[in-house]
Amino acid sequence: MKFLYDDGSFSFEALRAAGYAVYGGADLGEVLVTWRQIPEGDEEAWSAQWAATAARIERIGRDALAGGHRVSAREALLRASNYYRTADFYRRENPAADAESARLARASRQTFADAAALLDTPARALRIPYEDTTLPGYLFLADDSGTPRPTVLFHGGYDSTLEEDYFALAAGALRRGYNVIAFDGPGQGSTVREQGLHFRPDWEAVVTPVVDGDPVRDTRHGVRLGRLDQLVAGRTRAPASTATRVRCSCSTSAPSTGSTPCSPADLAACRRTGPARETTGRSPVAPSMASRRGPRGRRGGRTPR
């Protein structure tokens, strides 16, 4: 299926950006206005035009916040975060030395952090102990009642970011009564540029400190814990030491990555592990993050970051 572009990668990434509209990460009018300024396959124009849209929407959010309009500010800053991430996507030639890439990544993180503080139940930024450093994360609570709820652990994949995790899963899970702990593992998001961390095959060494950390103990209160991941090469698995605590675990990645993908039955099983009530028949996973492939066999057909 083509969306706005004939180029498979541009089509996928435009759909990815627009798909988050369902959870406040985009506005279709803003997406279409940006699309009209970007020639087919022009990665420089892609970065420049998405960055311009992001900056414009951020200004709207900052002005709304200064005027005391909390909801309008939150909504604009969430969209700006997604647009900054989209602007940075193709800047992969030499990201370690790319000052504009670093600026866009920081802007995506900062606009999201400012929006997260404006959620009805503000998100809590986490630093999760990991070896001799920490991993960034967020704790999202369905409400501030302190009611024990099932907790979902979630991380993205090759080219995902922690902030994107909110649109991909957390927002939908919160609506359905789940708490969510989202985090970037080594090799994901800011951990590469800011900390020099890279992917590792024994992913249980990453998940274990998250499962054993204080945020999980504080939120689940003995109720069931589930884990979802996206597009991480090789098999990612819940550590054996936590098998009695992680009641379901699956991946939204396609079989070609080597991971076991989430089927509808898997997602249903994860929902059955806890008492959270489903208000609709839809999975909390946003549609644009389903396992789609570009024409060259990789997600979006481009080298993942």
Query: For 69-78, 87-96, 291-300, which range has the lowest pLDDT when averaged over its residues?
Result: 291-300
Query: Is the same domain home to 129 and 79?
Result: no
**138-147: per-residue pLDDT in tens?**
999 999 998 8
- Confidence label for 229 from pLDDT (cuts 50, 70 and 90): low
Query: Is the same domain home to 171 and 89?
Result: no
Amino acid 3: pLDDT? 95
Query: From residue 2, how far is each of 5, 46, 67, 90 by CA, in Å?
Result: 6, 17, 41, 19
Average of per-residue pLDDT values in the chain: 79
Query: Is the same domain home to 295 and 216?
Result: yes
**176-226: per-residue pLDDT in tens?**
999 999 999 999 999 988 999 999 989 889 988 888 877 666 654 444 555
Query: Is the same domain home to 184 and 113?
Result: no
Last residue of a domain, one of 62, 89, 118: 118
Say if residue 291's pLDDT is above 80: no
Distance between CA atoms of residues 199 and 205, nearest Å: 11
Contact 27, 79 (CB under 8 A): yes
**148-162: per-residue pLDDT in tens?**
888 899 988 888 999
Contact 20, 163 (CB under 8 A): no
Give me the CATH number covering residue 110. Answer: 1.20.1440
Query: Is the same domain home to 184 and 167?
Result: yes
Query: Is the same domain home to 166 and 60?
Result: no
pTM for this model (two decimals): 0.79
Query: Is the same domain home to 18 and 46?
Result: yes
Q: Which domain holds residue 101?
A: 1-118
Distance between CA atoms of residues 171 and 142, nearest Å: 9
Query: Is the same domain home to 221 and 90?
Result: no
Give me the CATH number covering residue 273. Answer: 3.40.50
**238-248: per-residue pLDDT in tens?**
444 444 455 45
Distance between CA atoms of residues 191 and 184, nearest Å: 7
Mean pLDDT of 69-86: 98
Q: How many structural domains does the chain have?
A: 2
